Amino acid sequence: MSMQRIHDEGQTLQTPTGKVLGIVDSRAEFDTLAQALTSAGFKAEALCGEEGVALLERVDQFFFSDMEERVLLRHIEELKAGHIIIFIEATSDRRDEAVRVATQNGARRLVHFGHLAITWLTK
């Protein structure tokens, strides 16, 4: 398993249902986190730079509430500040493990997009 970067090819991102999203501040933290997630058996993707901003700016549909919009706007600002957004695939029975691995390896502001709820997991 590894962490793949999502490249902008004109696509529209889907709502990240079943994923834990988080932020890392530097490439070094990203590399450490990618290795830890891979070792734990998680698959993940990442957004960074102007490509990431362009992808997130095209998202225009929400299915829960304005909570998604707040998460989206925060992530756009984080990308503009040079940070990296991670998307960790985590089934409900592995969500807590994904959060533990991510927080121990530099990720912050983790949020889980479940099937019917968005849950803030860390600050």
Q: What is the pLDDT of residue 18?
A: 87
Confidence band (pLDDT; 50, 70, 90) for 123?
low
Output the pTM of the full model. 0.86
User: Bigger pLDDT: 4 or 96?
Assistant: 96
With residue 89 as reference, give the H or E element that holds it.
strand 84-89
pLDDT digits (tens, 9 = 90+) for 12-35: 888 788 899 999 999 999 999 999
Say if strands 19-24 and 3-5 run parallel, antiparallel, or are unpaired.
unpaired
pLDDT, mean over the chain: 86
What values do phi and psi take at 87, rounded to 5?
-125, 110
Domains and CATH numbers, the chain: 16-120 (3.30.70.120)
Cα separation of 68 and 106, whole Å?
23
Structure tokens at 114: 């479940």
pLDDT digits (tens, 9 = 90+) for 24-64: 999 999 999 999 999 999 999 999 999 999 988 887 665 55
Contact 28, 72 (CB under 8 A): no
With residue 3 as reference, give the H or E element that holds it.
strand 3-5
3-state SS, residue 7: coil
Confidence band (pLDDT; 50, 70, 90) for 1?
very low
